[in-house]
Amino acid sequence: MANRHIIHIDRPIEQADLDYLDGRADLIGHDDATLGDAPAAVIGIDDLWDADRFARFPNLRVVSRAGIGYDNVDCGAASAAGVVVCNGPDSPTVSTAEHTVALMLALTKELPSKTKRALEGLAGPGTATSLELDGATLGLVGMGRIARRVAVVGQALGMQVIACDPFLDVSPVLGVRLALLDEVIAQAHVLSLHVPSTPETRHLVNDGSLAAMRPGAYLINCARGPLIDHDALLRALDAGQLAGAGLDVTDPEPLPVGHPLLGRDDVIVTPHIASSTAVGRRRLYEHAFENALAVLDGRPASVVNPA
């Protein structure tokens, strides 16, 4: 076929994810040795794409992220090399929002410790310290697609939802009250992070912000690991300032075996799988392939370096 494109992909994927292509492209992969002259690459979040890497592949025209975050891609270097960078901002929304809510419910209902009681043959709660979410405050740091969906579910549970986002004005969004970051941190019974990893957001959650939270609050992070200073988090948990934390992302990722955040009753760590439902994974790659093909065909795509 004259219009059949070649796309490099940096990891094996399921056949169901390939069926979407319907013969429009041939895939090659899964490492730099096979990238060769391919004009397009569909990538994950693991490998760094910098100026040196772009220089090695002068025929590359588009790098398309299977997901929303692109902090592993130097967009300035890509633009200098004439490479379009794409992401899929809608790809992980539903699955990641659901995982965020799952962590919130599991933590506030103390499922790790209560499950352990059942395994030990014990009946009853032991101590009745679980949080009832109806009437509690859900604080959202960032108010993008995922956070907005989390807000809707929180409201359905009877929670009061407040949020901060420097890109929004003071008008209400979905009935959510917008506030400054300090107020969101101070008022939240459950604080959920939904911002990208940038130099400005690194260790956004630190000793100071944790001390400003309600005693016994919960922290959820399904965004990016570097948002939290894990040493500070451990100190807050050990001191009883926080009742629990749910982390789908960590720094480093994965955490090494034996890390003090692992195996605690008050911490749930999942291995960066919030978007990895069967439908969610397929959506990630559909959007990534469609963006790559759109650039190669000269059609509109979700571009993050319009320069």
Query: Per the residue annotation, which of 65, 148, 224, 287 is the catalytic one?
Result: 224
Q: Would you tell me how many other CB atoms lie within 10 Å of the CB of residue 30?
A: 14
Query: Per the residue annotation, which of 30, 61, 117, 253 is the catalytic one?
Result: 253
Cα–Cα–Cα angle for 223, 73, 280, rounded to 5 degrees: 45
Q: How far apart are CA 292 and CA 284, in angstroms?
A: 13
**194 is known as an active-site residue:** no
**56 is known as an active-site residue:** no
Q: Would you tell me how many other CB atoms lie within 10 Å of the CB of residue 24?
A: 16
Task: Specify whether the backbone of 249 is left (phi greater than 0), alpha (psi in -120 to 50) or beta.
Answer: beta
Q: How far apart are CA 219 and CA 103, in angstroms?
A: 10
What values do phi and psi take at 220, rounded to 5?
A: -125, 135
What amino acid is encoded at 253 in this protein? E
Residue 116: CA count within 13 A, CB half-sphere: 8
**224 is known as an active-site residue:** yes
- CA trace torsion 116, 118, 122, 126 (10° rounding): 60
Residues 6+ apart with CB under 8 A from 244: 107, 108, 110, 218, 219, 237, 266, 267, 268
Q: How far apart are CA 59 and CA 36, in angstroms?
A: 8
Helices 278-297/93-108 angle, 10° precision = 150
Cα–Cα–Cα angle for 24, 26, 32, rounded to 5 degrees: 140
Query: Per the residue annotation, which of 177, 235, 264, 272 is the catalytic one?
Result: 272
Q: Which residues are catalytic?
A: 224, 253, 272
